[in-house]
Structure 1
């Protein structure tokens, strides 16, 4: 079973993120869900971004990196949207990563190093019409083209946070397929 460090999206550690983590726990995985916003959740992407701007992007990302300290190596780093910025950086720079799950976002690999670490499998998930994911799609395609253990899954629709069951963007069908793929990924590690 995998030890997963899961970072929430810009609307915070919502009930939907907790449900997602609990589904992985039910499958036997250990899942850590640091709350980078100290209990705050936001009703919109805009409100979440306003909070992060006020706190400072670097300060929030540092809080996320600090959450990995003491957990040892051998982690799977996972993130939803904003959380991908932390998960991907740790997967690329922290020794001993077992894998990465990047949901709704993907940063160019060059932001955190010259190449994706050898032997670290990665999955990227997003919706084809999601305006936020569309910006990251070239980076996701480049990652998959240059990394043998990388997979890109594109789902129909335009919702951004589609696997968060507590939000209006929730898509039960796409979310179930994403969970199926994530569980298979973790089981193969």
Structure 2
């Protein structure tokens, strides 16, 4: 079984993020859900991003992500939801021992953290084909570049136009897309 760290999105560590983690736990995996927002959750992406900016986005989010795993074993799978992709992707690219990465709703250019994606780290990127944040803000392009260069990478696009499709506590939740995301994540974790 894998040991996983799941970093939450800009609305915080919501009940839906915890429910997603519980789905992975139910399959026997150990899943850590660090709270990068000190217990705060937000009603909108914008208010959560405003709080992240107050904290010192992106630097403080990356620092908190690294601090959250400092006492954990090196052999981790990193999962990030949107804002949480930043620490997940950085750690997958730079922390020795990374086992895999699952980047949901976002992706940044590989060169933000290292010259290339580590060849030994499988990666999946999941996004919605009509999500204006994922498509119009460069994440889809970054994901395509990542998949083109990484030896073990996959990009999965889901129908729809919502950003946080796998958070069951939000109106944007899409149960069928989430079921596929969980299935694909569990298949990666089983490797």
- Assess same fold via TM > 0.5: yes
TM-score, normalising length: structure 2: 0.97
Match of 1:43 in 2: 43
Moved more, 54-63 or 23-32: 54-63
Deviation of 1:56 after TM superposition, in Å, equals: 1.0
> What secondary structure sits across from 1:43 in the alignment?
coil
Unpaired stretches in structure 2, ≥5 consecutive residues: none
> What secondary structure sits across from 2:155 in the alignment?
strand
Unpaired stretches in structure 1, ≥5 consecutive residues: none
Deviation of 1:60 after TM superposition, in Å, equals: 2.5
Deviation of 1:118 after TM superposition, in Å, equals: 1.3
Matched, 1:56 2:46: no
Residue among 164, 168, 171 paired with 1:168: 171
Measured in 2, the distance between the counterparts of 1:148 and 1:119 equals 8
Cα deviation per residue 1:76-113 (whole Å; 9 max; x = unaligned)?
01100000001000000000100000000111001111
Measured in 1, the distance between the counterparts of 2:62 and 2:121 equals 22
What does 1:139-150 align with in structure 2 at a 5 Å threshold?
139-150=142-153
Corresponding pairs, count: 188
Measured in 2, the distance between the counterparts of 1:117 and 1:147 equals 7
Residue among 156, 159, 165 paired with 2:159: 156
Match of 1:121 in 2: 122
Measured in 2, the distance between the counterparts of 1:116 and 1:59 equals 23
Match of 1:67 in 2: 68
Measured in 1, the distance between the counterparts of 2:119 and 2:181 equals 24
Match of 1:7 in 2: 7
Matched, 1:22 2:13: no
Contact 2:5–2:76 (CA under 8 A) maintained in structure 1: yes
Cα deviation per residue 1:43-73 (whole Å; 9 max; x = unaligned)?
1001101111111112222111100101021
Match of 1:87 in 2: 88
Cα deviation per residue 1:105-146 (whole Å; 9 max; x = unaligned)?
111001111100011000000000111111211110011111
Contact 2:102–2:125 (CA under 8 A) maintained in structure 1: yes
What RMSD, in angstroms, separates the aligned Cα atoms of the two structures? 0.7
Measured in 1, the distance between the counterparts of 2:151 and 2:61 equals 31
